[in-house]
Structure 1
Amino acid sequence: MDVTVGTFNLNNLFSRFNFRAEIQEILPTGEDGRDDGRDDGRLTSSYEFKDPKEFRIRTYKGRLVKGITPEEQEMLARRIIGMDLDVLAVQEVEDIDTLRFFVARRLRKAYPFLSLIEGNDPRLIDLAVLSKFPMGAVTSWQHTPHPELPGERVFSRDLLEVEILDPRDPDRHLLTVFNNHLKSQFVDHRQDPVQGKIDNDHLRTLQAEAIARILAARTRPDGRFVLLGDMNDTPEAPTLAALAAPTPQVALEEALAHPVETRPPKPDDPPPPASGSWTHRFKESHRPAEYELFDQIWLSRSLTSRLKSSHIDRRTRHAGDGSDHDPAWVVLEF
């Protein structure tokens, strides 16, 4: 049996609404729209928010938080349906209701098993796992500290651990997925750019070290697990050294060194890496584009021998098709 497991940053998959509000009371109305004094359960057809205390526009660092458009959601859906993966770890989803709506409406109910736990990000972007196979235990590691930061949560969002069960025998554990979204490289314009990068890199380093300790505590040397997600750095970066360095307990291998691309990348100057090993394109004004493998799939020792192939669904536009990340996946033989 072949099992496909992948990762995709959905780039602000938010709900259709862009505000939070509290409705104290809605009175029943007559046909003329005025309160008719009855309490028969009929409600007004609309409610007008006049008191600023009753609503709050969703902002982040002074900017309005906006989700992707319905057209971009359709692009994401087409890509996900086209990949037809058994298990898909996703990042940047607002909440479980948004995910359920997206799966039911856009993905034609292709994934009957969903898991999302609200995490730490103030922008409301959470981690989730979609699966065609039954799920077992689900664990959030969002409260995890680091010895260097004993009183703080080290993860900007979360580390979401999900057990995937064998569809042929739901009592049998198939593999475990560890979904990640590490600290962004973004530096706010109000920060010093040099110090901002140093701080981001340092936090990403602590997060990778925390992941390595969790894996050592939660897995066996012969365990079948996949560590994947948006790492916001390259596999060989010093910030991710804790993942790349093998230990007696945990030895990981990144699986996207030479992926199969679904289509050739768009021409660029300079051109994208010939290996195809990239999922993220960043282009500053008047500077050449940078292509990086931010979305990664690390396999445990026992799964490396089961790897049949790795793949990346290549975008058709430089800006991306619904997301500024390209999804990646592996085919494992069981």
Structure 2
Amino acid sequence: MQISIGTFNLNNLFSRFNFQASVPASPSPDAGGITMTFDNADLVVRTFKGRLVKGKDPADTATIAVRIRDVMNLDILAVQEVEHIGILKEFNRSHLGGMYPFVALVEGNDQRMIDVGILSKLPLGAITSHQMAVHPNAPGERVFGRDLLQVEVLDTSGDRLMTVYNTHLKSHFVPFDQDPEAGAIAANARRRRQAEMVSRILSHQERRGGRFVLLGDMNDPEDSPDLAPMLTADFDALVNGLAHAVESRPAKSETPGQGPGPASPQWTHRFNPAGPEPPRYELYDQVWLSAKLAPLLVSAHIDRRTKHGGDGSDHDPAWVVLDF
């Protein structure tokens, strides 16, 4: 039996319900919504940093659906940047034809309300959220800005086939009102603490010889020193399932004068910095296999975008095929 499992950052899969309203110039920066009165009834309008949160563009939603349904067609898909389980179920029902009978998502900690979830053709067992986890060096705050979602995947007889861990680590984004150098240092430190906690949790949850997959949007390349603590602990070292991934199509050529383009096919995220620096191509979206699962790897794939900005998402999906 072959099983395909992968990851896709859906890039702000927000609710299709939008409200038009005037937003005060200086809302509270921590507010999750602004209460407005309509005909004596209160309605909370979703905002982030004073801007209305809109649903994902229908054309982009259709594009990611085609990639998931017609190109990938995976047995298990880990997704990131989903507003809530309701919109994930609606997306599965309306855009994927209900191809995934099993859906898992637990609300995380992100101020933008973006969560991580699992879509599966195989039955799911226990679902565990690690959103409450705190790092020993910062016990007063939750370490995961989103979550580390742990889901058991079962075979048709109800036995545990493997465990999937889906996460979305701290991005490199620094708000424009913060010092860029200090902000970058803080973001990298946060991501490293998250990587350390992933390792700590895996060490508690898994044992040597266990069958599990760690995947998601790591917001750093696979060889980043800030991710290094995540890859070993009280279990065998994890194996990069995408080390030899093949593209569904060649990468789009760079504009003359902007650099040579990607050095290898192993990338899922393109960042074009301001100034003369050429675009960077990095493997942000990763699939790590336990030592027990690594020998089962048959193939690895990345669905390549057709536009530099991405097709429905600024991340390209990646997946592996395992032969059980």
- Please indicate, yes or no, whether the TM-score normalized by the shorter chain is above 0.5: yes
- Within a 5 Å distance, the mapping from 1:28-67 to structure 2 comes to 50=38, 54-67=42-55
AA of the residue aligned to 1:261: E
- Other-structure match for 1:119: 108
1:71-90 aligned within 5 A: 71-81=59-69, 82-90=71-79
Show the counterpart of 1:330. 320
Deviations 1:86-133 (A, max 9, x none): 000000111111011100000011000000111100101011000000
Partner of 1:220: 207
The Cα shift of 1:248 comes to 4.7
Tell me if the contact between 1:121 and 1:156 (Cα under 8 Å) persists in the aligned partners.
Answer: yes
The Cα shift of 1:59 comes to: 1.8
Structure 2 residue ranges without an equivalent (≥5):
22-35
Q: Which structure's CA Rg is the greater one?
A: 1
1:235 is matched by which residue type in structure 2? E
3-state SS, counterpart of residue 152 of structure 1? strand
Trace 1:165-204 onto structure 2 (pairs within 5 A): 165-167=154-156, 170-204=157-191
**CA shift for structure 1 position 18:** 3.2
Please give the alpha-carbon distance, in whole angstroms, between the structure 1 residues aligned to 2:150 and 2:306. Answer: 32
The 3-state SS of whatever aligns with 1:5 is strand
Matches within 5 A, 1:1-334: 1-19=1-19, 50=38, 54-81=42-69, 82-167=71-156, 170-244=157-231, 246-268=232-254, 269-287=258-276, 288-334=278-324
User: SS at the partner of 1:162?
Assistant: strand
| In 1: Cα distance, 2:260 partner to 2:195 partner | 30
SS of the residue 2:202 aligns to: helix
Name the CA distance, whole Å, in 1 between partners of 2:128 and 2:40.
38
The one-letter code of the counterpart of 1:289 is P
Structure-2 separation of matches of 1:116 and 1:50: 32
**How far does residue 56 in structure 1 lie from its aligned partner after superposition?**
3.4
User: TM (normalized to structure 1)?
Assistant: 0.88
1:33 aligned residue: none
Instruction: Give secondary structure in 1 for the equivalent of 2:226.
Output: helix
Per-residue CA shift, 1:154-205, capped at 9, x if unaligned? 00000000000013xx321111100000011100001100010011000000
| Distance in 2 between residues matched to 1:16 and 1:248, nearest whole Å | 44
Query: Separation in 1 of the partners of 2:161 and 2:187?
Result: 35
Amino acid corresponding to residue 260 of structure 1 in structure 2: V
Contact 1:19/1:56 (<8 A) preserved: no
Distance in 1, matches of 2:140 and 2:155, equals 39
Question: Quick check: 2:134–2:143 contact (8 Å CA) kept in 1?
Answer: yes
- The gaps in structure 1 that reach 5 residues or longer are 22-47
Could you give the per-residue CA deviations for residues 256-291 of structure 1, whole angstroms, max 9, x where no partner exists?
122110011100132333421100011133442111
* C-alpha distance in structure 1 between counterparts of 2:225 and 2:18, whole Å: 38
Structure 1 ranges of 4+ moved more than 6 A: none
- Residue identity in the other structure for 2:66: R
How far apart, CA to CA, are the structure 2 residues paired with 1:220 and 1:19?
A: 49
Distance 2:130 2:227 in 1: 18
Query: Would the alpha carbon gap of residues 51 and 160 (structure 1) be closer, same or farther in structure 2, given more than 3 Å must change?
Result: same
Query: What are the Cα deviations for residues 199-254 of structure 1, in whole angstroms up to 9, with x where unaligned?
Result: 1000000000000000011001100000000000111111101023x345241011
Q: CA RMSD in A?
A: 1.8
